[in-house]
Amino acid sequence: YLEPSLFYQVDCLSRTKQQIVKCVETNCSLSKAFQFQEPEVNLTEEIVGIVALLATVNDDRLSRVFAEYLTESYMLAVVFKSYKSASSLEKFTKDGKVSRNCAIHKIVSQVGAKVDKRFTAIFLDEIRPYLDVLEESGHERKLALQDPCLPSGKMPHGFLGHAVNMINLDMRHVHIKTSSGYGLRETLFYRLFGELQVYQTREDIEHAKGCIKSGAVSLDGQIMRDHGIICLGD
């Protein structure tokens, strides 16, 4: 269901997450199914894509830790331009249960697929965007976020940057804008990563804790979601 180049992008995001790759293939079959729906409900033009396929990174270690940070739910989230388009995906019976005989469930059955569990949908027009300064150089328009600063006035050792600026938008999606004119970096990825900081090692995060406001990750696998919340284990 996916072109080989798209599989490579998913693999770049998380080489160790084979289950995610498998799930993305299933989810992408949904996009293929939308071409069979009734003409009056045209979702094809409203679907931006699946989060895992919208950007890449240049380092396998970043791939792994970003995938861990986002979790499978957000990696596999389907991104829509507006809530109105996504709201037609499911219909409900009178008792509030999902109808399996219409909308997306009927559509995907036509290509031999099925939706048998919850999936996350993200609506670009509903996201509160980053409203501060953007870096004007280059076509990716990175966010001009302030670097962390220790009480000494120096930048923490091992600080590599902010996660939202360390992803490379897929060229096919660089020019996507919301109805208000905001791009994917200042909407979708700012919503997913916020001002998450990236460091070289766990020790670097430990020494920089005093200037970490919105979480941090390290290339050797440390994940600090917020003060007091750290992911343990491999």
> What is the pLDDT, as a whole number, of residue 43?
59
Average pLDDT value for residue range 116-133: 88
pTM: 0.78
Separation between Cα atoms, residue 44 and residue 203, nearest integer Å: 46
Q: Is the pLDDT of residue 36 over 70?
A: no
User: What residue ranges in 70-194 does DSSP mark as E strands?
Assistant: 78-80, 121-123, 159-162, 168-169
Give the model confidence (pLDDT) of 138-161 as tens digits: 677 899 999 999 999 999 999 999
Beta bridge partners of 92: 98
Q: Is the pLDDT of residue 230 over 90?
A: no
Instruction: Name the pLDDT band for 137 (thresholds 50, 70, 90).
Output: low
Give the model confidence (pLDDT) of 158-216 as tens digits: 999 999 999 999 888 888 999 899 999 999 999 999 999 999 999 999 999 999 989 99
> What is the pLDDT, as a whole number, of residue 233?
74
Written as six digits, the tokens of 21 are 């790759």
Domains assigned to the chain: 4-125 (no CATH), 127-231 (3.30.70.1620)
